Structure 1
Amino acid sequence: MAKNVLLTGGTGFIGKHLTSVLIANDFSVSILSRRPRNNTDFISYYQWDINRNYIDENAVLNADFIIHLAGEGIVEKRWTEKRKKDILESRLKPVELIHSVLQKHNKSLEAFVSASAVGIYGAETSDEICTEDSPHANDFLSTTCQKWEDAVNRIESLGIRSVKIRTGIVLGRNEGFLKKLLPGFKMGFGTILGTGKQYLPWIHIEDLCGIYLKAIQDKELNGSYNATVLDNTTNEILSKTLANILGYAIWLPKVPAFVLKIVLGEMSIAVLTGKRVSAEKIKQKGFHFQFEDLKTALSNCVS
């Protein structure tokens, strides 16, 4: 009988891709959804509502593995205090709900795997190469990631193997990061943000799903792992590479940082800062990236 993987955020960009990968690898998939959905041959849907602290406990009780992807988008809306609260709680409340069910029923799992982000290393630009042991920062993004991972540690305290995947920008075919970027670039209006020197640690969606698959299959994996390509890509390099793939050279002037700060407010740090991040730890565990060349990865996503 196929082992079951329960996904939070299973209907999102990463979740949809990961669902296909899991099914192709002979897992059955359960997805937590806010609205009723019809089950399929390979996917079962369960309802939950984190704002009402409700979860169908059968979703957890029937799971062999849980992968936590749910969370409000970081750059979807301007960061008001309410928005920042929503971003944080959308990551913490699902873990708290799942923890309560596991504890209540003394339910064990083969593994609990959670998304996290390279934002944990701080919203600043530097040449430092961050590893999983690098110090954390005190800004909003870093604090959010730290609290997110602390919540996962509560699952680990139940004796459940827990893995945290610190992700950078995810490249997919007209999805995620590129979904916002491509329309302007395709019209010939590609540009560079700020100085363009801020690093953009990235990963192709196929590699990210591969890391999640390894996280549930490899019992040796515990703790935090960076999921990014270390190729020194900056905003300027990515923008020029994307424009080149689309057949033109960037001609518009750079968008000044002060303009982005006026338009985006505090959220501008998410696009104006960035560090280099190493994935050597996951490589040492035997994971091989399919996409480590930026032009190849982008070409795959826009073809």
Structure 2
Amino acid sequence: MKEIVLITGAGGMIARELSKKLGNEYTVRFLTRKKKHDQDFEWDVKNKKIDEAALDNVSHIIHLAGANISEKRWTKERKQELISSRVDSAGLLLETVRKKNIRLNSFISASGINYYGTVTTDKIYTENDPPGNDFLSEVVVLWERAADDFKEQNLAERVVKIRTAVVLSKEDGALKKMVPTILYGIGSALGSGKQYMPWIHIEDICSIYETALKNSAMDGAYNAVAPQHTTNENLTEKIAEVLKKPLFMPNVPAFVLKLIFGELADALLEGSRASSQKIQDTGFQFKFPDLKKALENLLRP
């Protein structure tokens, strides 16, 4: 019998790619707001409703659900949505696991590299560093705390938290927003351009989740970030180089971004480096450790 893996956040790019990776070895189910396929089960986090059959005989939960951080301005209501979509959804899972008297082999939760704060410094952060003190780090701290509850309440053998960097994928995310502007000749770096942008190829982030699922020694937090560091300016230049397009435009001034995005602009204008050593120490090997080769894989036919 194949082990059953339940994945939340079914509509996200990581869930889609990860399910392809796991499909041969595991029975994969999804929790989603609207059932579209046989393996889908519906839930409504806001109203605390869930199809409990989703958890029948489940061995692992991969919790990827969470509203998009950069999709909308951070109003008071949006901030609450960003938190509750991550924390309340984990809480609903926990309540259901407890109710059904299940003990999971693993609870693997998405998390964010913003745990360390939205700042630009010379420091390279490791998993042993404390959290930052801004809104995004608060979101991640609450997110991880909700995951840790599974172990603290003896509902999972282990809890793994994947602190995810900017995921590079041709289907969605940062590249989908950056590439058209460069193709149309209006692409440019943001603010000073010197802010670091921790990044990871979509194939590598999915492989990290697969490793976390299979490697029972993995427990706790891991930075899911490529070993090669880059800045916003360098990323923009590398995309242009791979696309063979010139960059004409000056950097977008910080005040313009703040006018457009409000507080969210800070997440675009600041960023630090994070170490990938801990995940590599598990034996994990990045397929795309080099930025230019990652972009060539994603952007060239």
Structure 2 residue corresponding to 1:135, chosen from 88, 111, 130: 130
1:204-283 alignment runs, 5 A limit:
204-283=201-280
**Counterpart secondary structure, 2:35:** coil
CA contact (8 A) 1:34 1:47 kept: yes
RMSD: 1.0
Amino acid at match of 2:4: N
Is the counterpart of residue 59 in structure 1 residue 58 in structure 2? no
CA contact (8 A) 1:173 1:300 kept: no
Runs of 4+ off more than 3 Å: none
- Structure 2 partner of 1:33: 32
Seq. identity, %? 43
Task: State the 1:83 CA deviation.
Answer: 0.4
Task: State the 1:225 CA deviation.
Answer: 0.3
Structure 1 residue corresponding to 2:284, chosen from 283, 287, 295: 287
- Structure 2 partner of 1:106: 101
Query: How many positions carry a matched residue from both structures?
Result: 298
Whole-angstrom distance in 1 between the partners of 2:17 and 2:173: 12
Deviating more after overlay: 197-206 vs 244-253: 244-253
Deviating more after overlay: 26-35 vs 199-208: 26-35
Tell me the TM-score normalized by structure 1: 0.96
- Structure 2 partner of 1:9: 9
Deviating more after overlay: 101-110 vs 119-128: 101-110
Whole-angstrom distance in 2 between the partners of 1:232 and 1:290: 15
Per-residue Cα deviation, 1:239-288 (whole angstroms, up to 9, x for no partner) = 00101111123110111111111111000011101000001001001100
Whole-angstrom distance in 2 between the partners of 1:68 and 1:125: 29
**Counterpart secondary structure, 1:170:** strand
Whole-angstrom distance in 2 between the partners of 1:195 and 1:221: 38
- Structure 2 partner of 1:164: 161
Task: State the 1:45 CA deviation.
Answer: 1.1
- Structure 1 partner of 2:293: 296
Amino acid at match of 2:14: I
Task: State the 1:37 CA deviation.
Answer: 2.1
Task: State the 1:95 CA deviation.
Answer: 0.6
Per-residue Cα deviation, 1:4-60 (whole angstroms, up to 9, x for no partner) = 110000221111001101114x11110011112231xxxx11110001101111112
CA contact (8 A) 2:198 2:273 kept: yes
Is the counterpart of residue 22 in structure 1 residue 17 in structure 2? no
> What 5-or-longer segments of structure 2 have no aligned partner?
none
CA contact (8 A) 2:13 2:171 kept: no
- Structure 1 partner of 2:89: 94
Whole-angstrom distance in 1 between the partners of 2:76 and 2:256: 21
**Counterpart secondary structure, 2:283:** coil
Whole-angstrom distance in 2 between the partners of 1:214 and 1:10: 19
Amino acid at match of 1:16: R
CA contact (8 A) 2:240 2:247 kept: yes
Deviating more after overlay: 28-37 vs 86-95: 28-37
Tell me the TM-score normalized by structure 2: 0.97
Whole-angstrom distance in 2 between the partners of 1:62 and 1:85: 33
Whole-angstrom distance in 2 between the partners of 1:252 and 1:54: 49
Task: State the 1:133 CA deviation.
Answer: 0.7
> What 5-or-longer segments of structure 1 have no aligned partner?
none
Structure 1 residue corresponding to 2:198, chosen from 189, 201, 207: 201
Task: State the 1:117 CA deviation.
Answer: 0.4
CA contact (8 A) 2:183 2:245 kept: no
Structure 1 residue corresponding to 2:183, chosen from 176, 186, 192: 186
Deviating more after overlay: 197-206 vs 55-64: 55-64
